[in-house]
Amino acid sequence: MTSFVLLTCACLLADPPPRQAVVVVVGAEGAPEFVPQFREWAKRWQTAAEQGQAEYFSIGLTPSEPATDRDVLKDRLTRLAAQETTEPLWLALIGHGTFDGKTARFNLRGPDISPADLTEWLKDARRPIAVINCSSCSSPFLNELSGPGRVVVTATKSGHEQNFARFGEYVSRALLDPQADLDKDEQVSLLEAWLFAAAGVREFYASEGRLETEHSLLDDNGDGLGTPADWFAGVRATKTAKGGASPDGLRASQFCLVRSRQELALPIAVRERRDQLELDLAQLRLRKAEIAEDDYLLLLEPLLLELARLYESEPIEKPPVQ
């Protein structure tokens, strides 16, 4: 009986399992008409975070405190990023941006933030990071924040795309929209949400008969260049960047804020190993044209065998093999 009580107490006192964390920052609205839009976009992120059982934090929605929004964000990011876990930290920036030809900034109430600020605050991160900057002039954030273990999405392809960006409307809507589930695996990955949002932006400008003034980019291979959505067919990149860099998109496809029942049923260790094997397969496919077929098959076989063993032990949906 004593042992049972001690075991029960130990379970109650044990640290809770790690969870994904979502930080949504709503910047300075600039004009009254943007207030309801930004709040609606933030609310969608909150709903998705709650459905995904993630920690959720918002900045910029409550009356200003003695600490500036910049200081609150710095404190929140550094503490969350320092947690050692494989569960991602998501940072969504909703608002306006500026670019003076040298430095891009995201506009906050009070002091603004630059890519260098976020780079400094996230430099000691011990978990995967996703940064989704929905503002105008946002692409310099991608160039500077890109790195291993990170997915960076921006609403624009350059700092000179300075008109109000509508990307935040569509990416926030995609998080819980079944139509954004392009591969029909009952969950929407960050890659799918981005592709869905980019298509929504294009359709908006086309329906309005207006010139498209924002072109979103995604980077998850760490080269700091980013890839536009029109390089994809479905969820597969059909073009590759110069210099032999791996295509963007695979790591983003492994970030899912609201996971399917099947995904939630997987032990964390199994999910992590599957994700790594998928990345290894993708790297091997890139080298296929450079190595002899027999050597390629020798390298391919152990990866496929290990994946097969995972599939036998857990109900994992198999990816296509090329």
pLDDT at 317 over 60: no
Strand order in the sheet with 227-228: 55-59, 21-26, 89-94, 129-133, 150-154, 217-219, 227-228
Residues 126-149: pLDDT tens digits? 999 999 999 999 999 999 999 998
pLDDT for the residue 35 = 97
The structure tokens listed for 241 are: 């960047």
Q: Residues 111-117: what's their mean pLDDT? A: 98
Residues 12-45: pLDDT tens digits? 455 667 799 999 999 999 999 999 999 999 999 9
pLDDT for the residue 265 = 86
Alpha helices (H) in the chain, listed in sequence order: 2-13, 34-51, 69-81, 115-122, 139-145, 167-174, 190-208, 250-253, 261-264, 268-286, 293-313
Q: Does domain 18-260 have CATH number 2.60.40?
A: no
Provide CB contacts within 8 A for 225, sequence distance 6+: 143, 146, 219, 241, 245
The structure tokens listed for 318 are: 């198999």
CB 226 within 8 A of CB 157: yes
Determine how many CB atoms are found less than 10 A away from the CB of residue 74. Answer: 17
Closest CA relative to residue 60, chosen from 52, 51, 72, 43: 72
CB 200 within 8 A of CB 180: no
pLDDT for the residue 15 = 62
Residues 242-280: pLDDT tens digits? 666 678 999 999 999 999 998 888 888 888 898 888 888
pLDDT for the residue 321 = 42
Closest CA relative to residue 119, chosen from 154, 78, 179: 78
CA 213, CA 165: separation in Å to the nearest integer? 8
pLDDT for the residue 7 = 45
Give this prediction's pTM: 0.88
DSSP annotation of 90 reads E
CA 204, CA 210: separation in Å to the nearest integer? 9
Mean pLDDT of the chain: 90
pLDDT for the residue 87 = 96
DSSP annotation of 288 reads G
Closest CA relative to residue 271, chosen from 66, 62, 17: 17
Instruction: Report which of residues 241 and 184 the model is more confident about.
Output: 184
The least confident of 108-122, 206-220, 278-292 is: 278-292
Helix 268-286 and helix 293-313, axial crossing angle in degrees, nearest 10: 160
CA 256, CA 192: separation in Å to the nearest integer? 9
Residues 45-92: pLDDT tens digits? 999 999 999 999 999 999 877 889 999 999 999 999 999 999 999 999
Domain ranges of the chain: 18-260, 266-313
**Cα-based torsion angle of the residue sequence 71, 151, 24, 99 in order, rounded to the nearest 10 degrees:** 60
pLDDT for the residue 162 = 97
Q: Residues 179-205: what's their mean pLDDT? A: 97
CA-CA-CA-CA torsion sign (273, 252, 247, 122): negative
Residues 294-311: pLDDT tens digits? 888 888 888 888 888 887
In DSSP notation, 128-144 reads: -EEEEE-STT-HHHHHH
